Amino acid sequence: MTGRCGKDSSSFNLGVACGLLYVIAAGKNEVNKMVELRTQMELILQNAKEELRSNNALLNDSGSQFSLQSVAVGDECVAGMDQLEAELEAELERLQLHLDSESNSFHCNCIKFTTAAKDKGTLALAG
């Protein structure tokens, strides 16, 4: 019996060892993927920074008149966005009021219907 127990034990140990090797290999692959993604992200960020620097240099070279015009256009865009946001908020409030009034009228109709049904039921029982 001890021979069989030892054989089962060694098979189990061999299975566990193979499982651990698989987990380690899979973990190594995941770490390699993360390192590769990190490298790609660093390159993307570096390219974005360089592009931003070159755009800033172009803006500085084109003169202050262009900068003032772009600031004025930006302010108009912000004002337009604020106005759109206010209109959207007002429309949402109107919709909420409309939904609330429909909900209240539905609730009242349900109460009237159940009251009428109860009244009919008592009349039918009385008759």
Is 10 domain-assigned? yes
Is 22 domain-assigned? yes
Length of the chain, please? Answer: 127
Q: What is the DSSP string of 94-117?
A: HHHHHHHHHHHHHHHHHHHHHHHH
Is 27 domain-assigned? yes
Q: What is the pLDDT of residues 95-107, one digit of tens each?
A: 888 887 777 776 6
Is 68 domain-assigned? no
Mean pLDDT of the region 61-69: 55
Distance CA 6, CA 19 (A): 20
Is 28 domain-assigned? yes
- Number of domains the chain is built from: 1
Distance CA 7, CA 54 (A): 71
- 49: containing domain: 1-61
Lowest mean pLDDT among 32-36, 112-116, 122-126: 122-126
